Amino acid sequence: MKKSIASAVFIISLLLGITCNTYGQGKTKDDLLRKSKRQITTGSILVGGGAIASTAGLFMLLNEKTFDAAPTFIVTGLLTAIVGAPFYVVGQINRHKANRMSFRNEPIHIPKYAGNLSRSIPSITYSISLN
């Protein structure tokens, strides 16, 4: 009896936890740029490592005196390169998302007509990272 009550409470709390809406903070530009840099680095390492492993497998295949590990190296290298490609693509998407155009109010100074009061006008800005 106690087991069934405990398991029912666990299942109900699990279902409520899954269906509950959580509101987190939105990603900032710095967060997206940091994330994209990590993803691009991971994708580059995986694609480069896969290419090196495939090339090593091809050299082993061409050499008659080595043992029969060449197909394993070739397949592993190709699979690693295939797995690394989406990391690179998603990193590029996150970089573009961080550097997208935004709508801001830019300050404009009109000293002659407004008595040195700063005003703002709506403008479209596009920021490009120089790093």
Answer whether 124's CB lies under 8 Å from 100's CB: no
Average pLDDT, the chain: 79
Residue 17 has pLDDT above 80, yes or no: no
Share in percent of the chain as helix, strand, coil (round to 5):
65, 15, 20
pLDDT of residue 54: 94
pLDDT of residue 41: 93
Whole-structure pTM value: 0.59
Cα–Cα distance, 49 to 127 (Å, whole number): 33
* Amino acid occupying residue 103: F
* Confidence band of 18 (pLDDT split at 50, 70, 90): low
Residue 105 has pLDDT above 90, yes or no: no
pLDDT of residue 10: 78
* Amino acid occupying residue 66: T
Report pLDDT digits (tens) over 77-91. Answer: 999 999 999 998 999
Report pLDDT digits (tens) over 40-95. Answer: 999 999 999 999 999 999 988 888 776 788 888 899 999 999 999 999 899 998 88
In percent, the amount of the chain with pLDDT more than 90 equals 28
